[in-house]
Structure 1
Amino acid sequence: MRAVLQRVTAASCTVDGDITGAIESGFLVLLGIEDADTVEDLEWLAQKIIGMRVFSDESGLMNKALADVGGDILLISQFTLFASTKKGNRPGFTKAARPDVAIPLYEKMIDKLSALLGKKVETGIFGADMKIALLNDGPVTIIIDTKNKE
C-alpha cells in the first residue's frame, strides 16, 4: 500500500457534480493498493496515518497528530500511485490491485481509520472520475509505503 498524506485546511471530492466527501483541517489521503497488499499492511499504514505528527504545537513545531488537533480525513482511492514509468511515456498500472482485491481493502481502511480516529472518515467513490479540491497547508506532503517499513 502506498499513501500520500497532504495536510490541508480544506479538501473535498466531487463526482458528477455532487460532493461525496469534504473536510476542513486534517489529511487528504490518496491511497494506492497493490495485489501484494494484506490486512497487515492496512493495519500498519492506518496506525502510521493516525499517528503522523505533522501538525503545529504551541511553539510552531510539527509535534501534534491528527487526534491532537481534532482533524479529519478525506480518503481517496488512487490506483495511479502504482504507475510504472520505466519504459516510454505511457504509464503502466500492472502493480495496482484489481477492484476485487482493492475494494475490500479500501473499505477496511475506511473502517479502520474511522475506528482509530473516533469519527467518520470522508471518502470519494472507488473507481469514479473524481474531482479533488484542496488547500494544502504548509505545504506538508508525506509519502508512506508499506513495502518500506524498515
Structure 2
Amino acid sequence: MKSLLLALTLCLVMTSNLSAKELQLGNTVKMELEQPIESLLANPQQFVDKEVTIKGTIGKVCKKRGCWADFESGNSKLRVKVADGEIEIPLHTIGSEAYASGVFVAKHLNKEQTIAYLKHMAKDAGEAFDETAIESGITLYQLKSNAVKIL
C-alpha cells in the first residue's frame, strides 16, 4: 500500500512539473527582436519582410493541422503561420501566452483570392463563411514563423 501511495505521489509530482514547463516548437525564439503586435499593425510597412518576435495570447488555432494560430494582444490580433508538417501548434494551447519569431509578411489579395482564402480559413477553423459579404480584396499581414514558445 505504501508503494502504491508513493507511486501515485510521484506521478502527480511529475505531471505537475510537466504542465509547468514551456513548450518550444521549431527553432529558438529570438527574444531580442520582440515588437508589440500593435506596433506592427499600426505601421506595417516599417516591418514587412523583416524578422520580428511577437508575444500574445493564443486565440484560434487551425483545427485541422495546427498550422496557424491567432496571437492576440489587447485589441490587436496577428496570425502566426508555421510550416505545414514541420511545426504543429496544439489546440490545447488556446488561451496560453506565447512568443513567436519569424518574418512579418504582407499578402495582397484581390476579391476572388480573398474569398478563397477566407473560405479556406473558415473551413480550417470549423466556422461558417458568407462570401457575399466580401466586396473587395484585402491585404493580410501575418508572421511566417519558424519558432514558437508557449508559456
TM-score band by shorter chain is: under 0.3
| Bigger Rg over Cα | 2
Higher helix share: 2
